[in-house]
Structure 1
Amino acid sequence: MWITSSPTTALTPTTVALGNFDGIHRGHEQVIQPILQESRASTALEEQKGLDNLDESNFKETLPIRNGAANDHVYATMATFYPHPREFFSGEAWKLLTPRAEKVKRLSVLGVEQLVLLPFDRELASLTPEQFVEKILIQQLKATHVSVGADFRFGNQRLGTSNDLRAIASSFGVDVTIVPLFTYEGERISSSLIRESLETGDIDKANRLLGRSYSLTGVVIKGQQMGRTIGFPTANLQLPPDKFLPRHGVYCVRVSTSSLSSLASEQFGVMNIGMRPTVNGTSLTVEIHLLDWTGDLYGQTLIVSIEKFLRSEAKFPSLDALKSQIQADCAAARVYFGNGQ
């Protein structure tokens, strides 16, 4: 995937999904689909032209070349804003459901070819809807088709609506697909609702809205190794600073790694997010204990899929009481995952 923070260096022409897309949830995927379809159609056209021009005597020379002068490919592109507009206007850091690395990975799986991070600054924020379309979409991205959600707003003071976008773009001969607000099991899907669900520990609901398990991706670092002293060694996870965390407490999780390691396959575990009040912790930690597994994970990148909220964080009167509760948490996780009594 080509990633750029300047629309002037984007691969063009493009078919563009436009919005914030934090979380890449089920609704976002509906907005992305139209651009994927048009990009695939352009690829099929390229291939057909290559076949039409095929000469057996110079087979290699007549195949279409991607990025060449005669390239007809239209790049499936997501154009989003960075930093998040809320961060720009509030001046406060905005936690993301999908920080950049996670967003890139998810978009790659879906088939998006390019991510354009539009620098959200005072200049961009001051553009009128007409200026935004002409400068960003037409001149810089050379868009042939744009897809947005029905609630998309843009331009100075968010004055432009999705219908305005369609009307302005049509004057340049560009089609705009407006995707209706997407609902799942009777609820409108939104990044805000997913955040609320995570904040209350309703992991089942958050995962249903996302269409997959909410996950944390981070590097295992050395902690205080307190868990080893009570028989429950944990992997201390260092996360991107802009990653949105769910409610403090204990969760059932599935753990895998994209790096080469002794963690050969997906493992089950329990995860604690919180301040560790029983041992007078002073900083937020994310710790994972893998069930029935031992080994060295330091320095490795783990992908932790959150499946179920077990309980809130609590302060226990002693380490023995904490140990008993962790045993109960592990037993509950075994029951949830169906691999023990």
Structure 2
Amino acid sequence: MTKSSADNKSTETDDDIGGDPVTVTVSDVEAKMRLDKWLVLHLPELSRARIKSLIEKDGALQKDGETFTNASWKIREGETYTLIPPPVEDATPQPQDIPLTVLYEDEHLIVIDKAAGMVVHPAAGNWSGTLVNALLYHCGDTLSGIGGVARPGIVHRLDKDTSGVMVVAKHDKAHHGLRDQFSVHDIERVYHAIVHGAPRPGIGTIEAALARAGADRKKMSIVDAEAHSSARHAITHYKMLEKFGTGLARLEGDSIASLVECRLETGRTHQIRAHMAHLGHPLLGDPVYGRTGVAGLKPGTPASDSAIATLAAFHRQALHARQLGFIHPITGEEMSFETDPPEDFARLLASFRRL
């Protein structure tokens, strides 16, 4: 194996090799390995997901001088590959004129209804078009600096494809006050989710610790809190609000999907998504914890055909942060904000109500 590149800098982080070309040649003992897995062995500073993205999406890999985009290719002895990553982007977020739905704003904080598809703060692969970029344009330099350069004012987050209410601090005192309420679970957070099947019992509490899944860094797993040092205590209170397609379910009295209200006692990454999947009722449309299609939903009637088509066009997890309540960190006023789900969620809900 040969490897040539500029010297790696100690400041480089995962998913960042500074734009320097890296050339590797397959040895006899490495033949027949999958290409992306093999590159990880020689480029440990990059995750496999990042390498796969560079190959398939960015066209950053060359084989014998030609662009090569098959990350699953079984490599052969003597083949030489050169990875030419795109230049590292500036990690300092810039203001961007992106429309925001503002529910409330004063000199201390701003409450917004985040659109589905919007990333909250810049990170690898999403250096622009984020909520932070929009807030920098809208609020100027008034945002709290506690979150650092990349996350000014950010007290809590919603997943990219989760819509709904968020609060952002405009200065450090407000940030401290809001963060303290989140840390002691004094924030009212209510979500609506459309899930596979219907949970039994219809009202309950899921108390299960969460930690990063070993093989998938973007997924959370239910773990034994005592056995995992990185485990985070997590509690979700749920209540089923509606059942859909009862007549289509395989078991009498069951349903093929349901609308569930989730109240968070803690706020961990992917908490609702992981907890509902653990319960056996993953969210519709969830590409990480869910499954395609809906058991029992088959074509043949106008209602089922409509539901199938609507679900096929729904490209995210069916989760909306409906309500957020907190004490204003400066005035002490009790505040509560509630939003209806966006059009795509409402359309999916309506199609299942017709079953």
| TM-score of Structure 1 vs Structure 2, range by shorter chain | under 0.3
Higher relative contact order structure (alpha carbons within 8 Å, sequence separation ≥ 6): 1
TM-score, length basis structure 1: 0.24
Structure with greater proportional helix content: 1
TM-score, length basis structure 2: 0.23
